[in-house]
């Protein structure tokens, strides 16, 4: 299975980005992609009920539904701007909505996370996240009238811009290395994060960890081939990795269990 992976689209933030996204999706089936992995923050803010959606958001979601109708799976990894996307209202637009996504290709084990919880020093954001994604917030959003829903989306976008901007400007390299090594120790071969908007890489032997540049800024897409090799398109970190397949052969899961350790 050929996969396309991208992160941090922030649709609606830059003029013309919806058209770019529509064009990108239109070319995926003909390029042989069978699964699209969205590593979080697809829109400026998305809440899982239609009364929160603008007309532009609805159009983009319908494009994802059309893509699924063409035989391409859509896996959505939760980002800091994604709220309660496990609702039934979102079912036509994605196959999975998960906090992290693991899969195998060519004997290599891959893990995709958004990365917003990597930085342990960003306590303000962690507190805001725990409140905004709590059960209480879920029921509040579910019961909220449409008039207030649209206002909440705008307020949330402003809050997100302030909560962790300082920590996104400087990569927390020590935390990234720590998390990468933790995943490597559990048997993961390749880790992908988004969130930080610019390319970063760490290698330990034959294992690799990457931060994806934001699609919003440079159109970066990683293609993961059936043999586990990688090719990067768009801005930032462009290269081809033709890694040799490892001995492991497995099947995709939303959360992997490897050697008794779960993801």
Grade residue 42 by pLDDT with cuts at 50, 70 and 90.
very high
What pLDDT score was predicted for residue 190? Answer: 98
Q: How many CA atoms lie within 13 A of 211 on its CB side?
A: 21
Grade residue 13 by pLDDT with cuts at 50, 70 and 90.
confident
Domains parsed from the chain with CATH numbers: 2-262 (3.60.21.10)
Q: Which residue has the higher pLDDT, 214 or 165?
A: 214
Are β-strands 2-6 and 100-105 bridged in parallel, bridged antiparallel, or unpaired? unpaired
What pLDDT score was predicted for residue 164? Answer: 55
Reply yes or no on whether the pLDDT at 162 is more than 80: no
Q: How far apart are CA 77 and CA 36, in angstroms?
A: 11
Distances (CA, A) of 49 to 40, 43, 46, 95, 133: 17, 14, 9, 17, 14
Grade residue 247 by pLDDT with cuts at 50, 70 and 90.
very low
| Cβ pair 248, 108 in contact under 8 A | yes
What pLDDT score was predicted for residue 166? Answer: 54
Reply yes or no on whether the pLDDT at 138 is more than 80: yes
pLDDT (mean) for 78-99: 95
207-239 tens-digit pLDDT: 999 999 999 988 999 999 999 999 999 854 443
| Cα torsion angle, 13, 117, 102, 254, sign | negative
Q: Which residue has the higher pLDDT, 253 or 135?
A: 135
Reply yes or no on whether the pLDDT at 145 is more than 60: yes
Record the pTM.
Answer: 0.83
Q: What is the mean pLDDT of the chain?
A: 83
Buried b (16+ CB within 10 A) or exposed e, 145-158: eeeebeebbeebbe
What do you get for the CA distance between the two ends of the chain, in Å? 21
Grade residue 100 by pLDDT with cuts at 50, 70 and 90.
very high
Dihedrals φ, ψ of 60, to 5°?
Answer: -65, -40
pLDDT (mean) for 157-179: 72
29-40 tens-digit pLDDT: 999 999 999 999
Reply yes or no on whether the pLDDT at 111 is more than 80: yes
Measured in residues, the chain has a length of 263
pLDDT (mean) for 120-139: 84
Reply yes or no on whether the pLDDT at 244 is more than 50: no
Q: How far apart are CA 75 and CA 191, in angstroms?
A: 16
| Cβ pair 40, 114 in contact under 8 A | yes
Which residues does 144 contact at the CB level (< 8 Å), separation at least 6?
51, 152
Reply yes or no on whether the pLDDT at 107 is more than 70: yes
Q: How far apart are CA 73 and CA 35, in angstroms?
A: 4
């Amino acid at each position: 299975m050929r996969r396309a992976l991208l992160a941090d689209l922030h649709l609606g933030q830059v003029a013309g980005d919806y058209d770019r996204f529509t064009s990108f999706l239109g070319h995926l089936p003909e390029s042989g992609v069978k699964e699209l992995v969205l590593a979080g923050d697809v829109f400026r803010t998305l809440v899982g009920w239609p009364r929160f959606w603008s007309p532009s958001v609805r159009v983009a979601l319908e494009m994802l539904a059309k893509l699924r109708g063409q035989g391409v799976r859509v896996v959505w990894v939760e980002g800091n701007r994604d709220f309660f996307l496990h609702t039934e209202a979102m079912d036509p637009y994605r196959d999975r909505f998960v906090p992290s996504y693991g899969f195998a290709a060519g004997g290599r084990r891959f893990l995709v996370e958004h990365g917003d919880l990597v930085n342990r020093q960003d306590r303000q954001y962690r507190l805001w996240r725990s409140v905004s994604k709590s059960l209480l917030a879920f029921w509040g959003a579910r019961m909220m009238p449409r008039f207030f829903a649209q206002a909440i989306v705008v307020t949330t976008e402003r809050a997100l811009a302030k909560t962790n901007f300082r920590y996104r400007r400087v990569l927390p390299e020590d935390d990234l290395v720590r998390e990468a090594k933790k995943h490597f120790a559990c048997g993961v071969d390749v880790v992908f994060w988004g969130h930080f908007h610019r390319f970063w890489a760490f290698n330990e032997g034959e294992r690799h960890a990457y931060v994806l540049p934001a699609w919003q800024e440079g159109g970066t897409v990683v293609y993961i081939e059936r043999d586990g090799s990688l090719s990067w398109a768009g801005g930032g970190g462009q290269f081809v990795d033709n890694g040799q397949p490892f001995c492991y052969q497995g099947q995709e899961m939303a959360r992997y269990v490897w050697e008794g350790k779960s993801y």
